[in-house]
């Protein structure tokens, strides 16, 4: 062992023990912070050259004090803005009592959370988890058990239909049914039982259903896939097809739920598109903690019996208190009208700029994708945005997403769009 490394470690631990962690953070330069991650972390992320140390609503600051407008919103996780006052207060209050206990015991905070989330979603029961991927895995297990014990599918023959360009998480089961080669390479073998078909194609869906089909799993809008919207009426058609064929409908609203597209959930843009199972997360944690859940109807949720499923941290009192505060903010604020109107203004402003570099603008509410032509250097555009104090990244299909906190001030949002337009002009 390098004696110097040991001394440095002991110094670091002593400083943290003495309550000097914040001063350590603020003493690091932006480059030093990047170097630490590069030296000690795995290389599964390639961050933009920004070291964020402070945030408030839709603004964040780096170590040098430069201000940025957050237009990615942690992939919808900071829907309430950074450090929402009411949610932070709920966190602090809960920390004065208890933070984590096992689901082996009852807990009032968790009970209130289960009741509140079920009521918020208009469904019957909740299975609390931590991450979006865990919520999806929970839905998969519920659907398969329902298929075997209720529908009568032969053992180990259950099929779930998914869609090209999907993104449901990064576990080995989930990446196994991705159509993105980079998510799958060198991670096999993969879990069988999934059938991939084109997104938004009802006829392809009809043809894919067999007697062994137990569920259809889809994002109402494919966020990670490039803000891809299905044809109007597709969600209702999927629901009707599920009813006709005795198949469960699972909507993944982890990124697109909680008023991101202007309605409480994106499936609510159409009539009669209510799912049997709903996967939620990201914004449910109020931008503070990882909180997710599978929410659903009684006839599916009652499949789980003691020992079937669980999570050490899923359904902890601290997460429950934070999630309830996040839901209360949604329920007591006029998010639907505000998000819808702001989204329409953003799209109108971008279209009015008439930029030749833009191939297409897609989205609903504050889930907006700007797809640029192949002639545009998307790497240079990412850096041009950072230089202008705009934080967002390219997703698949050369699309830059605009998913700022839903609480962003209108004038700040319009200023952000001006900067985005300027960045596009600069690189095209």
Residue 291 Cα distances to 116, 222, 242, 300, angstroms: 14, 21, 29, 21
| pLDDT number for residue 259 | 98
Catalytic annotation, pick one of 113, 120, 167, 265: 167
181 lies in the same domain as 118: yes
| pLDDT number for residue 10 | 67
On the question of pLDDT at 5 being above 60, the answer is: no
CB crowding 250-270: b at 16 or more within 10 Å, else e: bbbbbbbbbbbbbbbbbbbbb
Q: Give the pLDDT band of residue 9 (cuts 50, 70, 90).
A: low
Of 312, 332, 352, which residue is a domain's last?
Answer: 332
69 lies in the same domain as 113: no
| pLDDT number for residue 1 | 35
| pLDDT number for residue 397 | 78
166 lies in the same domain as 269: yes
120 lies in the same domain as 224: yes
Q: DSSP for 290-312? A: --EEEEE-HHHHTT--TTS---S
35 lies in the same domain as 133: no
> pLDDT tens digits, residue range 347-365?
999 999 999 999 999 999 9
On the question of pLDDT at 145 being above 90, the answer is: yes
On the question of pLDDT at 108 being above 70, the answer is: yes
Of 307, 332, 357, which residue is a domain's last?
Answer: 332
Which of 46-55, 76-85, 128-137, 337-346 shows the lowest mean pLDDT across its residues? 46-55
Residue 225 lies in a domain: yes
Strand order in the sheet with 67-70: 52-56, 59-62, 67-70, 390-391
**CA dihedral of residues 264, 268, 274, 279 (deg, nearest 10):** -40
Q: Using a pLDDT cut of 90, give the percent of the chain over it.
A: 93
On the question of pLDDT at 2 being above 60, the answer is: no
What mean pLDDT is reported for the chain?
A: 95
CA distance 267 to 255: 13
Catalytic annotation, pick one of 282, 313, 330, 400: 282
Which of 4-8, 106-110, 173-177, 301-305 shows the lowest mean pLDDT across its residues? 4-8
On the question of pLDDT at 428 being above 90, the answer is: no
pTM for the full model? 0.95
Mean of the pLDDT values across residues 204-229?
97
Phi, psi of 55 (to 5 degrees): -145, 150
> pLDDT tens digits, residue range 44-103?
988 888 999 999 999 999 998 999 999 999 999 999 999 999 999 999 999 999 999 989
258 lies in the same domain as 369: no
Q: Annotated catalytic, 282?
A: yes
193 lies in the same domain as 262: yes
Containing structural domain, residue 266 = 86-332
- Cβ atoms of 242 and 213 within 8 Å: the answer is no
Residue 196 lies in a domain: yes
179 lies in the same domain as 157: yes
| pLDDT number for residue 8 | 58
Mean of the pLDDT values across residues 314-341?
97
158 lies in the same domain as 115: yes
| Tally: H helices and E strands in the chain | 15, 15
26 lies in the same domain as 75: yes
- Residue 320 gets the label, from left (phi > 0), alpha (psi -120 to 50) or beta, of alpha
CATH, residue 148: 3.40.640.10
| pLDDT number for residue 11 | 85
Residue 6 lies in a domain: no
296 lies in the same domain as 189: yes
Residue 207 lies in a domain: yes
* Number of structural domains the chain divides into: 2
CATH, residue 39: 3.90.1150.10
Q: Annotated catalytic, 163?
A: no
Give the angle subtended at the CA of 361 by the CAs of 355 and 364, to the nearest 5°: 145
Residue 356 Cα distances to 228, 344, 359, 398, 428, angstroms: 21, 21, 7, 15, 8
Residue of 428 and 107 predicted with greater confidence? 107
Which of 1-5, 268-272, 275-279, 332-336 shows the lowest mean pLDDT across its residues? 1-5
78 lies in the same domain as 90: no
SS3 state at 41: coil
- Chain-centroid distance of CA 173 in Å reads 18
Residue 137 lies in a domain: yes
Q: Using a pLDDT cut of 70, give the percent of the chain over it.
A: 98
| pLDDT number for residue 3 | 37
Catalytic annotation, pick one of 62, 70, 252, 276: 252
Q: How many CB atoms lie within 10 A of CB 144?
A: 20
């Amino acid at each position: 062992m390098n004696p110097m490394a040991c001394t440095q470690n002991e110094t670091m631990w002593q400083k943290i023990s003495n309550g000097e962690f914040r001063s350590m953070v603020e003493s690091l330069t932006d480059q030093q912070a990047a170097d630490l991650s590069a030296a000690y972390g795995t290389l599964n992320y390639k961050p933009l050259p920004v070291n964020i140390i402070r945030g408030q609503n839709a603004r964040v600051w780096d170590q040098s004090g430069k201000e940025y407008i957050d237009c990615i919103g942690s992939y919808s996780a900071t829907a309430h803005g950074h450090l929402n006052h009411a949610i932070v207060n709920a966190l602090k209050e809960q920390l004065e009592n208890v933070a984590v206990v096992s689901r082996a015991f009852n807990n009032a905070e968790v009970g209130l959370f289960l009741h509140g989330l079920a009521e918020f979603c208009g469904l019957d029961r909740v299975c609390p988890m931590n991450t979006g991927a865990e919520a999806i895995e929970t839905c998969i297990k519920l659907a398969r058990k329902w298929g075997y014990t209720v529908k009568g599918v032969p053992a180990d023959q259950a099929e779930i239909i998914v869609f090209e360009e999907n993104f449901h998480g990064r576990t080995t089961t989930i990446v196994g049914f991705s159509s993105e080669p980079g998510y799958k390479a060198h991670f096999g073998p993969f879990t069988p039982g999934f059938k991939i078909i084109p997104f938004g194609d009802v006829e392809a869906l009809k043809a894919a259903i067999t007697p062994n089909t137990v569920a259809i799993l889809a994002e109402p809008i494919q966020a990670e896939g490039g803000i891809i919207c299905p044809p109007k009426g597709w969600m209702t058609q999927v629901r009707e097809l599920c009813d006709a064929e005795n198949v469960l409908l699972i909507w993944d609203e982890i990124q697109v739920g909680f008023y991101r597209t202007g309605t409480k959930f994106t499936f609510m843009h159409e009539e009669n598109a209510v799912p049997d199972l709903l996967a939620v997360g990201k914004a449910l944690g109020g931008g503070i903690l990882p909180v997710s859940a599978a929410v659903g109807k009684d006839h599916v949720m009652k499949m789980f019996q003691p020992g079937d499923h669980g999570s050490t941290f899923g359904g902890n009192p601290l997460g429950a208190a934070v999630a309830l505060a996040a839901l209360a903010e949604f329920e007591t604020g006029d998010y639907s009208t505000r998000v819808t109107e702001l989204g329409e203004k953003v799209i109108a402003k971008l279209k009015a700029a008439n930029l030749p570099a833009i191939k297409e603008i897609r989205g609903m509410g504050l889930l907006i994708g700007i797809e640029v032509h192949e002639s545009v250097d998307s790497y240079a555009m990412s850096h041009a945005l950072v230089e202008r104090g705009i934080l967002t990244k390219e997703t698949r299909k050369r699309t830059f997403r605009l998913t700022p906190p839903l609480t962003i001030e209108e004038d700040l949002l319009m200023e952000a769009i001006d900067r985005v337009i300027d960045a596009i002009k600069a690189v095209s």
